[in-house]
Structure 1
């Protein structure tokens, strides 16, 4: 079985990469750690926003009106 990368795998990877990059910038340059992590957090928020609102997990807006089946 071959695993294929999905869009949301890339979203999660982008969030991780932006935060690791922010911490790395904070430790390896003269930029303060708190400032670099905050900047990376804004990048992560932008990636999350794209995953939720631009390329959302539904196919059509009518999918949002479907009733949810109860658990069990």
Structure 2
């Protein structure tokens, strides 16, 4: 059984996203980076707001758990 990787949502070149990724790499946590194009408003889409209700990046999801509760 393979563990579902943690998902980190945000623009790949974002400093805030990079900090999260460095922590996950240091702890050897398997993760998936889901690119979010902020210039196209993807961070304000209804799907994204379910994960991060303030429309900020990065957003974090582990299975169905987010920083703001269950998604």
Work out whether the TM-score is over 0.5.
Answer: no
State the structure with bigger RCO (CA 8 A, min sep 6), 1 or 2.
Answer: 2
Greater fraction strand:
2
Greater fraction helix:
1
Between structure 1 and structure 2, the one with the greater Rg is: 1
Q: TM-score, normalised by structure 2?
A: 0.30
